Each structure stands twice: as C-alpha cells, then as structure tokens.
Amino acid sequence: MVPIACQARNVSVAYRADPVLRSVNVTVPVGSVMGIIGPNGSGKSTLIKAMLGLVKPLTGTSEFFGQPLDQVRHRVGYMPQSASVDWDFPTTVIDLVTMGTYGELGWIRRPGKAERARAMAAMEQTGIPELAYRQIGELSGGQRQRAFLARTLVQAPDLFFLDEPFQGIDAKSQQAMIDVLRDLVAQEKTCVIVHHHLATVRDYCDHVTLLNGHVVASGPADQAFTKENIRIAYEAREGAEAFLETAA
Amino acid sequence: MIDPIEFFGNHIFRMVFFGTSVTGLVAGALGSFAYLRKQSLISDVIGHSALPGALLAFLIAVAVLDANGRNMLGLIAGAVITGTLAALFANSIAVRTKIAIDTAMAISLTVFFGAGMILLRIISNGPFPGKGGIDDYLFGNASVITVADLATSIAVGAVALVLMLVFWKEFTLRTFDPVFSTVLGFRAGVVDTVMFATIVIAIVIGVKAVGVVLMIAFVVTPPAAARQWTSTLPGLVALSGAFGAIGSGVGAYLSVALGNVPTGPLIVLTLFAVFLVSLLVSPRRSIITAALRRARAREALRRELLAETADR
C-alpha cells in the first residue's frame, strides 16, 4: 500500500447557504501528481482552500500525512493563484521568494543570509536567478508564476498545492514549470495541481479528481480521467466537447 | 515673516512644531501599511469616528473622575475605542448584508460623527470645567499642546512604531499575501489586530493638533507621495514618515509665519504640495514622463501600421 500524503474526508463548503462542494472525498498517495480538474465554478480552488483551512468547511476534515494540518504545516507548501496579490507592491523578487522561509522562522525572527541564499537557489531551479533584484511589478505573467513557484520550493515541503500554476504563462515558463514538477516527482514529493486545461492533464498528472460541485471521479488518471467522466463533469460544455472529439 | 530663531525661541511655537511633526512622522510611517492594504477610506471612518470617543473621554474625566478633561492619554484611548467600533461596525454591515462596503463605511462614519456633534453641543451647553475650545477637536489647535501632551504623543507613537518594527516580517507578509501568511501558520486575527492597533494609533494621535476632520490626510497623503519615489517597503515607510514629519514641520512654521492661519489645514496643503510634486517629477512614476512615453509608443505603432498597409 502506498502511504497517503493527504486526504479530504466528506468535505463540504457553502458560501452563505449556497453549496459549493458536497461531501468531497479525495485521497492523494505519496509521490503522485493529482490534478484537480473541472469547469469554472466547480469548486477546484475552494477544495484546496478548504483542505488548507483557508475556507471553513461546513462538514468534513482533512489530514496531511495522517495528521491535522497544524501538526505538519512545515511539510505542506502552497502556491496561490498569481492574480491573488497586488504586483505593484514595493518589493523585489528575491524578497518575495524569501517569504517562503517565514513559516519555519516563526514569529518575529527575521530572514538572514542563509534564507536569502536558499531563495536564490530556488530561483535558479525555476530559471529566474537574473531577476532576483527586479521589482516584482516588472515581471511577465510567466515570470510571476516562476517567482511564486520558487517561493513554494523555498518552503521545502513534501506536499505541494499549486493553484493554476500554468495560468497566463509563456512557453519558456511552462517548460521551466514542467522541469521542476518532474524533479519533484523524482524526489517522491507529492503535488496537488488545480488545472483547467483538459488537453494537458495527461502530460502533468498521474492522478485526477474530476469535480463539478461534487466528485465525479477520483483516482489514477487511467481510471478517473475517462471520456464518460469528463462528459459528466463538464455536462455539455463546448470546450470539453471539442476536446473529446479531437481525443476520439 | 518670523525668522527661525524667533520661532524656536517661543515655547508655544516649539510645541506646535514638535507636536505636529511627531504626529506627521508616526502617521506617515504607519500610514504606509494602510495605504498598501488599500484601507485609506476605512482610515477616514476611524478618524471621523474618533470624535465621540475623544468627547466621551472628556466627559468621563471631568464629570466622573474630576480630572483634567484634555488629558492626552484619555483622549487617545477614547478615540481608539470609538474609531475601532466604527470600523468594526462598517465591516460587519458589509459582511452580514448585501450592502457594499463603501455604503457601510459612509453609514458608520456619519452616525459616529453625528453622535460626536451632539456630544459637542451637550458639552458646550453644560456646566463642565475646561470646556472652552472643546470644538477644537474638529479642526485641531496645535497651540494648546502641552509638554505633557507632547510626551504622551511621543510615547504612544513610539509604542506603535516599535510594534511595527518587531512584527515587520508578519506585517509585510500579511499585507502582500494574506492567504499565504495564513497557510504558513501566522494567525490572521493576531497579525490583523496588532496591525490595526498601530494604524488606529497613527490616525488618532493627531486629534488635538490637527483635529478629526483632517487627520486622514496625515495617514494617506505621505505614503501616496512616497510611493512615487521608492520601490522598497523600508524605503516607503521611512520616506513616508519623513514626508509626514517635514511636511508637518514646514506647515506648522508657515501657519505661524503667515500669521493666524490654522495649522492643520496648512499642513494638509503642504503635504498635498509634496504629493503633487511627487506625481509630476518622480523619476520612475512621473505622470508626465509616463504620458510622453505612451504618446511616443503610440506614434511608433501608428507609423508601423501605416507602413504595413503601404507595403500591401
């Protein structure tokens, strides 16, 4: 049996009285890349936010390496959507990436040389070391994503939650992103990726959870990511129809 | 015009100068975080809503404690309490109802300020010792600042600035990326409470010198001006504090030099001048060079497009 990296049990989320997620059960084995796939508004981001305690679930619990998040926070990394922050904030890329060390520093202690050196190393991994002293406002969409990914790498987690890492990204950044993902897989790290581009799901993910307010299917890509399940998750949405036709 | 030697030789002028400069420094430095969190308007709610608190503090001091109603510490405490209540009230309306936050803030500001105006009338009609000039809380009167007031302002301001320095990392992270901050294990409630407390202090510290109506300018204008010149957070906080302190000092000096001009409004105009110059001539963000750059780029694009069609 492969050990479990994280697990959502019976997780439901409602904004006011409107259900967004109904009784979601997802199990992510250690070493897998789990794609969270579904149409807009299907609750993809909400699911990982609920698991990470950023949104209060109405029912259910989440476990990470068999424990509640508070016990194992240092082993869990998170890359938010890049649109979630103000890129005109007055700071440099290296300072942004160094924020990944703040968790282990804890309250009040400041980052020093060692933390900045680690930030630099992470930027080399994502291919942006030359941007270290740039203003974050000067970065392109793809560079922003790579800076955010570097910040997540600096956290040195065993489990990565990546929310739309391929959103608004150029080909070069996409390749850098994929290389890092391959490295992580080779190191037996686990990734949970929110992704909405059906055609590339198979390239990145070996496990898939198809969402549409509830879990349509969840498991190894071969079993979960089937035409039938995609059709159910996307109902009759045009994008999915086009994808299914080309795939057939 | 009064010369500087004469100005600083006069006790009252010295108090006006240092009282407003300390206010400017603290409000400018801490205002940077309000600015970056886009909380300028809520800061104005807090400022106006400080009025009933400051007046209640006066009433409690003279009617209950039989003490000096203008005690700076009591004044700040009262202002902090009603200012905070007003901000929480606005937020809870916005969260619990479908009423938008700008409406909620306007409702909260006016109800607290209105209550303050009624208290002001009650005090001026009642037999309270030391009520003379109580309406200075509206527009401030820097010339009544005592040495004790100045010492209190410095002490309270220093506490707020030290909190900012101690929690610098947490403030920065929470301001830039609140969600990531929570994932890393920094309790949102704890960081927000400390940061909110420092910002409220920055706002209400000017109650006596500049009054509740214009205090917001001390919090909002310096960081907006400073952002034009600097692109680091330490730079922003330092420069904004410097703009606040120097702008206040210059404004205070001018208000005396020009004779009988109210200090608070003149400082606000001085800060606005700093802001205007920053908008126009700052090296990287000047609106003039930005407009020129855009016009040039558009012209180049136009030529390119015309050349393309000519080729065809």
pTM of the predicted structure, to 2 decimals: 0.91
Position A11: which residue type?
V
Question: Looking at residue A173, what is its pLDDT?
Answer: 92
Q: Quote the tokens at residue A7.
A: 């697990």
The answer, yes or no, to whether residue B2 has pLDDT greater than 80, is no
Convert B65-104 to b/e letters by CB count within 10 Å (16 or more is b): eeeebbbbebbbbbbbbbbbbbbebbbebbeeeeeeeeeb
Q: In B96-173, which ranges are E strands?
A: none
ipTM of this predicted complex? 0.92
Share the mean pLDDT of chain B: 92
pLDDT tens by residue, B274-298: 999 999 998 888 888 888 888 999 9
The answer, yes or no, to whether residue A236 has pLDDT greater than 60, is no
d(CA A6, CA A72): 11
Task: Tokens 């109603």: give the residue.
Answer: B69
The answer, yes or no, to whether residue A248 has pLDDT greater than 60, is no
B8 touches A at CB < 8 Å: no
Nearest to B170 among A76, A92, A107 (CB): A107
Interface test with A, best of B169, B171, B236, B240 (most A CBs within 10 A): B169
Q: What is the dihedral of CA B105, B110, B111, B114, to 10 degrees?
A: 160
A239 touches B at CB < 8 Å: no
Neighbouring residues of A168: CB distance < 8 A, sequence distance ≥ 6: A82, A141, A142, A145
B240 touches A at CB < 8 Å: no
The answer, yes or no, to whether residue B260 has pLDDT greater than 80, is no
A53 touches B at CB < 8 Å: yes
Question: Looking at residue A53, what is its pLDDT?
Answer: 94
pLDDT tens by residue, A86-108: 999 999 999 999 999 999 999 99
pLDDT tens by residue, B106-121: 999 999 999 999 999 9
Between helix B188-204 and helix B72-96 the angle, nearest 10°, is 130
d(CA B14, CA B70): 20
Is residue A223 within 8 A of residue A235, CB to CB? The reply is: no
Is residue B140 within 8 A of residue B263, CB to CB? The reply is: yes
d(CA B179, CA A54): 7
d(CA B31, CA B215): 11
Q: How far is B171 from chain A (nearest CA, A)?
A: 10
Of A78-87, A171-180, B256-265, minimum mean pLDDT range:
B256-265
Antiparallel, parallel or unpaired: β A76-79 and A159-163: parallel
Task: Tell me how long chain A is.
Answer: 248
The answer, yes or no, to whether residue A32 has pLDDT greater than 50, is yes
Q: Quote the tokens at residue B256.
A: 């005396």
Nearest to A135 among B175, B176, B231 (CB): B231
Is residue A36 within 8 A of residue A195, CB to CB? The reply is: yes
> Residue B176 and residue A80: Cβ atoms within 8 Å?
no
The answer, yes or no, to whether residue A114 has pLDDT greater than 90, is yes
d(CA B75, CA B80): 9
A156 touches B at CB < 8 Å: no
Is residue B240 within 8 A of residue B222, CB to CB? The reply is: yes
Architecture of domain A4-86+158-247: 3-Layer(aba) Sandwich (3.40)
> Residue A76 and residue B183: Cβ atoms within 8 Å?
yes
Nearest Cα neighbor of B54 from B211, B165, B170 is: B211
d(CA A29, CA A181): 16
Q: How far is B183 from chain A (nearest CA, A)?
A: 7
A96 touches B at CB < 8 Å: yes
Phi, psi of A34 (to 5 degrees): -95, 115
**pLDDT class for B272, splitting at 50, 70, 90?**
very high
Q: A224-227 contacts: CB < 8 A, separation 24 or more?
A: A225/A35, A225/A37, A225/A201
Convert A48-70 to b/e letters by CB count within 10 Å (16 or more is b): bbbbbebbebbebebbbbeeebe
Query: What is the arithmetic mean of pLDDT over A131-136?
Result: 96
Question: Looking at residue B64, what is its pLDDT?
Answer: 86
d(CA B179, CA B185): 10
Laid out side by side, the sheet with A18-29 consists of A18-29, A4-15, A59-64
Three-state SS for A163? strand
pLDDT tens by residue, B175-224: 999 999 999 999 999 999 999 999 999 999 988 889 999 999 999 999 99
The answer, yes or no, to whether residue B80 has pLDDT greater than 50, is yes
Question: Looking at residue B128, what is its pLDDT?
Answer: 87
**pLDDT class for B132, splitting at 50, 70, 90?**
confident
Neighbouring residues of A177: CB distance < 8 A, sequence distance ≥ 6: A126, A145, A146, A149, A165, A166, A169
d(CA A101, CA A111): 7
Question: Looking at residue B246, what is its pLDDT?
Answer: 97
The neighbour count for residue B276, using CB atoms within 10 Å, is: 11
The answer, yes or no, to whether residue B312 has pLDDT greater than 80, is no
The neighbour count for residue A30, using CB atoms within 10 Å, is: 15
Percent of chain B at pLDDT above 70?
A: 99
Of A60-64, A241-245, B246-250, B262-266, minimum mean pLDDT range:
A241-245
The answer, yes or no, to whether residue A51 has pLDDT greater than 70, is yes
Position A6: which residue type?
C
The answer, yes or no, to whether residue A45 has pLDDT greater than 60, is yes
pLDDT tens by residue, B20-44: 999 999 999 999 999 999 988 889 9
d(CA B232, CA B49): 32
* B99 or B1, greater pLDDT: B99
The answer, yes or no, to whether residue A239 has pLDDT greater than 90, is no
> Residue A90 and residue B227: Cβ atoms within 8 Å?
yes
Q: Quote the tokens at residue A162.
A: 């990546």
C-alpha to C-alpha distances, B178 to A3, A86, A87, B87, nearest whole angstrom: 32, 11, 14, 19
**pLDDT class for A242, splitting at 50, 70, 90?**
low
Query: How many Cα atoms are found within 13 Å in the side-chain-facing hemisphere of A154?
Result: 33
d(CA B64, CA B86): 25
Query: What is the arithmetic mean of pLDDT over B10-17?
Result: 91
